[in-house]
Chains A and B, each alone.
Chain A
């Protein structure tokens, strides 16, 4: 430290090297995770699920569609009559529960991820236009949004699913579309705030045109709250998929999904509880992990900008 040097025009609060790109960002990210262990836990849980989804063929002990009637209705390994060959037991058709849970994560992650991506991108666009333009456009858009939001969600989703039929694509479409209003609302709220910020007025005073203001100035500031929202919505979608599956309206029954497994195991809940309990735990695990992650993200993405030494 140049202690004896007169500190002429710096007085910069952080006098060492500037934040240099990805390297510094990642290391400070790790520090933040470590300080707030629940965020770390959430991230780990989330990554476990994603890993299961990606590596399913590699880590799954059996083919989830493999039926072995002779070994059906077997309890989990630690119970009497259980066997280590089927760690979590089998269902009524002799399919290995553990494998089906692992493969089921694929449905959940795909629905969650693709559904949210759709809602995020379309919702953000609409919200941006609505919030920035204001006036008539805003009124019209928000009226439509509010109408959609006031529909009883589950009833509506069930109705559409019943009409369209069982397929992964349909589920993604339904969730993606019905979640757009949530993103529109949050985006619009943020845009209304950002619109009044000094740097927007400054950009206008420099002569910058509206499209550039929207994309270069407003959008980057939206990402924080929207990413946080995305994690919560993704967890919600996973729950709803399970709900749909429970009603038999999600993917076809043969395809392993946690919702389907819950549905199938319902009738046997008192006799063979493991068929529903373990998929249920998988749902809880995923939802919990994502919520922890979302909470941590919320703390990190916004106040971090302000919490730096001023």
Chain B
């Protein structure tokens, strides 16, 4: 599999009244064509901001983005972060589709759902209205919305939560993008609807050969959908691994803590959940050392001196931690 997206040192800062927020601090990763990469983190981890930065979806006046993001479309390579507004507009929706969390606010309430799909088709693919209409009906059917003709002319508020999410997926995949970014698409949905959406995404991915980035905080959903997982904390990816490897052999204390905090069906219930004491760090300070050290059981003096680099801890498994949890001592450098 070749790399379809290569991000190096992505850094995003927000200038606010109260100071500079260091939302994303040096994110680097490669996305392989056809895979599903799950980006996992809690609030404030920077997982959404990272993806929004790639597509210039953050307010321009207060945001500073630096780094590079190379998107390979066939033989051509485009550097996303240095694109102009016009250029990135041709990428958004056409080559990279995005599905947002809250479908009700992400969809225009005064446009019919059908119009929102055809808008993308006519703008990017230059289809005529008639072609766009029939294509949109196909899409609605493909994402599992019954009675597509009727639903085409319906408004978002007339849909249920699950259907709205399907509609958003239809809009995102309308132009056959190479990459689909899904930002917490199932968080607001009931669990039985969630399974429907996950199944739908898997099927579409197979059929269309799409690469998917799935942003979530739910480690259960990740287990069912991801090939690789990138765990983010305080604006940095602190662990990256194949999905089986991450769950069976987590190498970063934060990942270990996260996995221990989820209740597992079938546990006796009398055990306490592993909780990570404290809370995430203040993003107003530029990180100069490991940002997890305050809450870490294994922290030692070196952790306070510099930000840990990516250590290779297994096959295609990286962890930003100076401590070796297996050998129970600091890593040799």
A residues apposed to B, CB below 8 Å: 3-11, 13, 35, 307-309
Does A11 contact B279, Cβ atoms closer than 8 Å? Answer: yes
Q: Are B17 and A7 in contact (CB under 8 A)?
A: no
- Please tell me if the beta carbons of A35 and B17 are within 8 angstroms of each other in the complex: yes
Tell me the residues in window 280-315 of chain B with beta carbons closer than 8 Å to chain A beta carbons. 280, 282, 284, 294-295, 304
B277 within 8 A of A: yes
When the two chains form the complex, which single residue of A9, A13, A35, A307 contacts B278, counting CB atoms closer than 8 Å?
A9
Q: Tell me if B304 and A8 are in contact (CB < 8 A).
A: no
Contact, CB under 8 Å: B282 / A6: no
Contact B282 A7 (CB under 8 A): no
Residue contact A309 to B278, C-beta cutoff 8 Å = no
Residues on B with C-beta less than 8 A from A13 are 282
Complex Cα distance, B279 from A309, in Å, reads 14
Residues of the B chain whose Cβ atoms lie less than 8 Å from the Cβ of A3: 304
Interface presence of B160 (CB below 8 A): no
Residues of A within 8 A of B84 (CB): none
**Which of chain A's residues has its CB closest to B301's CB?**
A4
Residue total for B at the interface (Cβ-Cβ under 8 A): 11
A10 CA to B282 CA in the complex, in Å?
12
Interface residues of B in 251-289 (CB under 8 A from A): 277-280, 282, 284
Task: Please pick, from B17, B277, B304, the residue contacting A9 in the complex, using a CB distance under 8 A.
Answer: B277
Beyond the given A6-B277, A9-B277, please list 13 additional residue pairs across the A-B interface where CB-CB is below 8 A: A4-B304, A7-B278, A7-B279, A7-B294, A8-B277, A8-B278, A9-B278, A10-B279, A13-B282, A307-B17, A307-B18, A309-B282, A309-B284
Q: How far is the CA of A308 from the CA of B17 in the complex (A)?
A: 10
Q: Which of A5, A11, A307 contacts B280 (CB 8 A)?
A: A11
Q: Which A residues touch B284, using CB under 8 A?
A: 309
Taking the closest CB of chain B, its distance from the CB of A125, in whole angstroms, is 36
Q: Which of A5, A6, A8, A13 has the most CB of B within 10 A?
A: A6
Contact of B18 with A6 in the complex, beta carbons under 8 Å: no
Q: Which residue of B lies closest to A11 (CB)?
A: B279
Q: Which 10 A-B pairs have the closest CB atoms?
A: A11-B279, A7-B294, A7-B278, A11-B278, A8-B277, A6-B294, A309-B18, A8-B278, A4-B304, A3-B304
What residues of A have a CB within 8 angstroms of the CB of B295 in the complex? Answer: 6-7
In the assembled complex, which residues on chain B have CB atoms less than 8 Å from the CB atom of A8?
Answer: 277-278
Bound complex: CA of A11 vs CA of B282, how far in Å?
9
Query: Is the Cβ of A10 less than 8 Å from the Cβ of B304?
Result: no
Binding site for A on B (CB under 8 A): 17-18, 277-280, 282, 284, 294-295, 304
Give me 26 A-to-B residue pairs in the complex whose CB atoms sit less than 8 angstroms apart, sorted by A's number.
Answer: A3-B304, A4-B304, A5-B294, A6-B277, A6-B278, A6-B294, A6-B295, A7-B277, A7-B278, A7-B279, A7-B294, A7-B295, A8-B278, A9-B278, A10-B278, A10-B279, A11-B278, A11-B279, A13-B282, A35-B17, A307-B17, A307-B18, A308-B18, A309-B18, A309-B282, A309-B284
A-side contacts of B17, CB under 8 Å: 35, 307
User: How many whole Å from A268's CB to the nearest CB in chain B?
Assistant: 51
> In the docked arrangement, what's the CA distance between A13 and B278, Å?
11
Q: How far is the CB of B304 from chain A (nearest CB, A)?
A: 6
Complex: chain B residue closest to A32, CB-CB: B17
In this complex, what residue of B is CB-closest to A307?
B17
Distance in Å: Cβ of A19 to nearest Cβ of chain B:
14
In the bound complex, residues from chain A placing their C-beta under 8 Å from that of B294 are: 5-7
Chain A residues with Cβ below 8 Å from B277 are: 6-9
Contacts of A4 in B (CB 8 A): 304
| A307→B282 CA distance, assembly (Å) | 15
The chain B residue sitting closest to A5, CB to CB, is B294
Cα of A4 to Cα of B279 in the assembled complex, Å: 15
Shortest CB–CB separation between residue A304 and chain B, in angstroms?
10
Q: Which residue of B lies closest to A309 (CB)?
A: B18
Contacts of A309 in B (CB 8 A): 18, 282, 284
What is the distance, in angstroms, from B130's C-beta to the closest C-beta of chain A?
47
How long is the Cα–Cα vector from A296 to B284 in the complex, in angstroms?
A: 26
Name the B residues within 8 Å of A308 (CB-CB).
18
Bound-state Cα–Cα, A4 to B296, Å: 11
In the assembly, what is the distance between CA of A7 and CA of B304, in Å? 14
Give chain A nearest CB distance to B307 CB in angstroms.
Answer: 14
Name the residue on B nearest A6 (C-beta).
Answer: B294
CB neighbours (8 Å) of A5 from chain B are: 294
For B283, give the chain A residue with the smallest CB separation. A309
Measured in the bound complex, the distance between the Cα atoms of B279 and A215 in whole Å is 36
> What's the Cα separation between A5 and B304 when bound, in Å?
11
CB distance from B23 to the nearest CB of A (A): 14
* Cα-based distance from A10 to B279 in the complex (angstroms): 7
Q: How far is the CA of A5 from the CA of B296 in the complex (A)?
A: 11
Enumerate chain A residues within 8 angstroms of B280, measured Cβ to Cβ.
11
When chains A and B are docked, how far (Å) is the Cα of A258 from the Cα of B155? 56
Residues on the A chain within 8 Å of B282, using CB: 13, 309
Q: How far, in angstroms, from A5 to B17 measured CA to CA in the complex?
A: 29
